[in-house]
Amino acid sequence: MRAIDFFCGAGGLTRGLLDAGISVIAGFDADVRCKETYERNNRPAQFYERDIYDISAADVWKALDSRRTNDLLIAGCAPCQPFSKHQRSSGRASGVKAGQRNPDATLLEAFSRLVEAIRPAQILIENVPGLAKVKGFSTYRRFLKMLRENSYEVAEGVLDAKFFGVPQTRRRYVLIATKKRNPSLPSADYGTGLKKFVTVREAIAHYPPIQAGQRHPTVVNHQAAVISETNLLRLRSTPHDGGDRRTWPTELGLKCHQANHKGHTDVYGRMAWDRPAPTLTGRCISVSNGRYGHPSQDRAISLREAASLQTFSDNYVFHGNQQHIAKQIGNAVPVKLGEALGRHILSLNQPTK
């Protein structure tokens, strides 16, 4: 089976599909800063810097060097901001005025146009659960209508990456469409009655200690963000192994947390050693953006540790500046989830006994 990965980013899904035994020919993404990371770690797949709105079926045929589709998988993991819980609750994405439509919200429409023109044998979508919850005759529902009109059968639902060997709670909407009958989603390998969930300890405990703002001299990408003196004091006041801001002395509290604030306690919190990590984002190396504090060291998790929590191997080297590498890692499909999806799609194509 061959595949094209749209919105490929740094290549988490591509790497997972490759590990499953699928030949990924190319990745398309508008962010050229991902090119070096993608191509160096996923040879011989090639990176094409193209905006989804500008890609034509002819571009895909050229990348494939063939118009054969009976063994073709097209995967699309569009940026999820327009469909996130936060954006839906606020009514708009950052930088988009009320009454305006976020341009990113039409990415699925552009992907749908390509699918309809190419008509691959298999389609894979991965996104936040909110994609399927937009009210009305949404982009998502129009996409499903297009699939039905083109004789695809669909399996869809929400999967949590931790049930597939990822040391992270990460709930994602997954859709698999095929022209073969009765597609399905993969079954969990981890959880109650199965293998034990992979933990933060298993993923990152083996990395050598570093301080905030330090880069390890030999472990690639093992670099921690600089933090302010005040935030360092806050971390030192946060109990190890899952602690949070509720133990801080009053003078270290945030203004927004005063007056008996009862909101979320994840911000500035530490990860717990023996549980899966919380969902990583593109700001996963910042203690002020979530429960991204190291379980025992006074710093946020490093880029390398974040990559491991996304199940990238230690020889998967990320290129770019610190902030963009964090975005590459946090926005990626966890490799092990991608591999599980790839293996399952291959199994759907096996002849039934």
User: Annotated active-site positions, please?
Assistant: 80
Count Cα atoms within 13 angstroms, Cβ side, for 104.
18
**Whole-angstrom Cα distance, residue 245 to residue 342?**
40
Question: What does the block give as tokens for 115?
Answer: 């699918």
Question: What does the block give as tokens for 255?
Answer: 């203004």
Which helix or strand (DSSP H or E) is residue 353 part of?
A: none
Q: Residue 103 burial (CB < 10 Å; 0-12/13-18/19+)?
A: exposed
CA end-to-end distance (rounded Å), the chain? 21
Cite the beta strand spans of the chain per DSSP E. 2-6, 23-29, 46-49, 72-76, 122-127, 153-160, 171-178
**Whole-angstrom Cα distance, residue 128 to residue 85?**
9
